[in-house]
Chain A
Amino acid sequence: MNAADKKRLLREMLFARRFEERCYEAYVERKIGGFLHLYPGQEACAFGVLDAARPGHDYVITGYRDHVHAIKCGADPKEVMAELFGKETGSSKGRGGSMHIFDTKHHFMGGYALVGGPFPLAVGMAKGIKLKGGDEISICFLGDAANNQGTFHETLNMAALWELPVLFVCENNLYGIGTRIDRSTAVVDQYKRVCGYNIPAAQVDGQDIEKVHAAAKIAVEHVRSGKGPYFLELMTYRYRGHSMSDSNAYRAKEEERMWSKRDPIIMLRDRLIKAGEMSADDYKKMDDDVLDHIENEIIKFAEESPEPKVEELERYVLADNDPWVKGGAH
């Protein structure tokens, strides 16, 4: 990874951090409703992996903590914010919400709210790629606790059996809501759980984007070259509660302090400053630009956009005028 790439990724991660923090405020202001799961702390996972893949080309799917993955794939942050505001201009036209961001133009195939639900969908997309003979891969980002669903094991089995081009990325932030991993999971190291399916796997520091990127390169190459699935476990931490309705009272302050010292953005920033690639002032300016962009373009767009029309409540349930419903076009 060269210095220009590092600077670009620093900016992208900083943007994601500020975007999510602004979502927090908008939620407190009651501009955003429902469940809101934020990403701060985990940025190096999405950016490190996807930068090593081909965002916009490869098919990506994830859970409910999905804003940042969508944006990295190419979704317009204005549309993502408008979706959170429930607006017609939102990526899902205000029908999805925070947990259901979609941008199929950029092959971001959605955020899904059922824990473990995307596993089979990801493997299905890989099957579709294989049938169509494309060079894309399917990438599935999910949390550690999702691995306790049956779908995890069922789909690992099928992915390996049929050698499908799918990369599983486990963002292990040590918690499923308020339950720490050692209290819910017999084998704490998630990468060990896939060896029963003969799927190659690795565990990597998810706070260091360079390490994530290097490991993801190997993983992506493996999958793209037709060797079948790969499992990448990234050790990470979320700074906020699970969602906005989570008091976050179950974690020791000492643990939180320890992880905050390993912030993916600060670590990369300090490295760049130390190498003489940027100054503290450059960083400050980058941050100001990002904040300005979020406020004056993204939030403004979301605020000013219209709400969906109640008359269109029943659109998008089924296809419009599908000829085969009537038995064909003849």
Chain B
Amino acid sequence: MAVMMYWEAIRRAHDEEMTRDPLVICMGEDIGVAGGTYKATQGLYDKYGPERVIDTPISENSYTGLGIGASFLGVRPIIEIMSVNFAWLATDQIFNSAAKVRYMSGGQLTAPVVIRSPGGTAHQLGAQHSARMEKVFMGVAGLRVVTPSSPKQAYGMLKSAVRCDDPVFIYEHELMYNMKGEVPDAEYFHPLEGSEVTRSGKDVTLFGYNISVHWCMQAAEQLAKNGIDCEVIDLYTLSPLDRAGIQKSVSKTHRAVVVEEAEAAVGVGSEVMAIINEECFFDLDAAPVRVSAVNVPIPYNHRLEKATIPNAKSVMAAVRKLLGK
């Protein structure tokens, strides 16, 4: 297995899929000649040319719609939206066209597009560049939402998403593009439904996804030193959430903490807690807890920004409180 960075893994998936199928294209702002804001499409323009590696104008809703329309004819576009903050502008086409067309055509038409976009708070980017929008996408029927927490997932999910007949939204993270990890040398397809036990434990389940999986893992390692044995579940699929995986783990550990970078309201934590209630309420030894961001537009000031977003320490504190230790 080769060690590579998250952006390299995404680039590799693009390259392999574009080599395999001439109808796989990619498009977005600055992805061609400039190689992509996060380098995820570096070198592809020279290799595949401007018809397949398309530098788009700054028209998020319309170039996303263009990709969707092309997908009606069998094209498989991988659309990069530079930041989820800008994906708000494309939600009309994503929600009203891509997600609904199969249903409202009675199964005649489908929109097999992949939309990749990074979100999250990076380093003092301010309120309009720090959105965490996954909660918005996961509530829409007809759209798959996945979120890779490692280079291996980033590579394998994009490969599966390109080939899947449904529209897939891949929520990436601005701080993770340079993260390193092992990626199989052979072609690998990651599932688009499910969750992964990243660490097995018996005292409490920590649910994370994307960057928060890493906070959970750091917290679990620290807590292990104090004799607290955490299980960590990576919810790499946000829509549909893995009911069976959530139930299985909580029925084993009897305690749950859901960790998300976004604000608590109407979020991943709310959903996971609802699933726990529905599936295994009587297995609980304590009320489940959410660790989430403070509900403010993200501040610029470094200290305030840090105070807004959870981290490994806040996860540890929540676990200790839950266990009364």
The size bracket of the interface on A is: 35 or more
A310: chain B residues within 8 A (beta carbon): none
Asked whether any CB of chain A lies closer than 8 Å to the CB of B56, the reply is: yes
B59-116 interface with A by 8 A CB criterion: 59, 61-75, 92-93, 96-97, 101-110
Which among B28-36, B162-170, B264-272 touches the partner chain? B162-170
Min CB–CB distance A59 → chain B (angstroms): 7
Asked whether any CB of chain B lies closer than 8 Å to the CB of A243, the reply is: no
How far apart sit A269 and B60, CA to CA, in the bound complex (Å)? 48
Known: A109-B109, A158-B57, A315-B107. A124 touches B65 (CB 8 A): yes
How far apart sit A119 and B92, CA to CA, in the bound complex (Å)? 12
Asked whether any CB of chain A lies closer than 8 Å to the CB of B191, the reply is: yes
B161: chain A residues within 8 A (beta carbon): 324
Q: Are A161 and B160 in contact (CB under 8 A)?
A: no
User: Which of the listed residues B62, B74, B75, B189 has the most CB atoms from chain A within 10 Å of its own CB?
Assistant: B62
Contact of B69 among A93, A125, A322 (CB under 8 A): A125
How far apart sit A318 and B144, CA to CA, in the bound complex (Å)? 9
Asked whether any CB of chain A lies closer than 8 Å to the CB of B193, the reply is: yes
Asked whether any CB of chain A lies closer than 8 Å to the CB of B23, the reply is: yes
Contact of A319 among B62, B93, B110, B189 (CB under 8 A): B110
Asked whether any CB of chain A lies closer than 8 Å to the CB of B319, the reply is: no
How far apart sit A29 and B189, CA to CA, in the bound complex (Å)? 54
Q: Are B105 and A104 in contact (CB under 8 A)?
A: yes
B63: chain A residues within 8 A (beta carbon): 120, 154, 158
Q: Are A96 and B62 in contact (CB under 8 A)?
A: no
How far apart sit A161 and B52, CA to CA, in the bound complex (Å)? 15
Asked whether any CB of chain A lies closer than 8 Å to the CB of B142, the reply is: yes
Known: A90-B106, A93-B106. A157 touches B65 (CB 8 A): no
Q: Mark B residues whose CB is within 8 Å of A.
A: 22-23, 25, 51-52, 54, 56-57, 59, 61-75, 92-93, 96-97, 101-110, 141-142, 144, 156, 160-161, 163-166, 189-193
Q: Mark A residues whose CB is within 8 Å of B.
A: 59, 61, 90-97, 100, 102-104, 109-110, 112-114, 117, 119-132, 138, 150-151, 154-155, 157-158, 161-162, 315-319, 322, 324-328
